[in-house]
Amino acid sequence: MHDVFKPASVTPVPLAPPEVVGLLNLRGRVVTALCLRRRLGLAPSTSGESGMAIGLEQGEETFGLVVDGIGAVLSLTRDSFEPVPPNLDARWRGLALGVHRLDTKLLVVLQVDALLAFGPAVQAA
């Protein structure tokens, strides 16, 4: 991760997978914007807010993951990290590296490679 930003105008991409919101400009770079809700199989947000985006690089390409919001930054240790629980929702299981058990919540750690895999890459995974 290298940026957290409020996405400005997004240009739709015809025939793109449903997770691809479109393209946006991030400091002069063309960035593929992905809706994390759609990628995780969640219902659309009902808040009416446009959300935030997390900029990250994968290989030679930069992506903007559109999320509902950004929470607190946590310092976690390996002691609280556990493998993916077998009862984790199937939509998340293939995208998760593991989980951290917090006091009252379960924090799912996502695999960036799997999250950004589309088409033939998804079927190979």
Q: pTM for the whole thing?
A: 0.79
Contacts 24+ apart (CB under 8 A), 105-114: 107/74, 107/76, 109/81, 112/56, 112/58, 113/58
CB-based contact 67:53 (threshold 8 Å): yes
Please state, in angstroms and rounded to a whole number, the distance separating the CA atoms of residues 74 and 119: 33
| In the chain, where the domains are located | 3-67, 78-124
Question: Where does the pLDDT of residue 42 fall: very low under 50, low under 70, confident under 90, or very high at 90 and above?
Answer: confident
Domain 3-67, second-level architecture: Beta Barrel (2.40)
Question: pLDDT digit string (tens) for 85-120?
Answer: 999 888 788 899 999 988 888 899 999 888 888 754
Identify the band that residue 28 occupies on the pLDDT scale cut at 50, 70 and 90.
confident
| 95 neighbors 86 (Cβ within 8 angstroms) | no
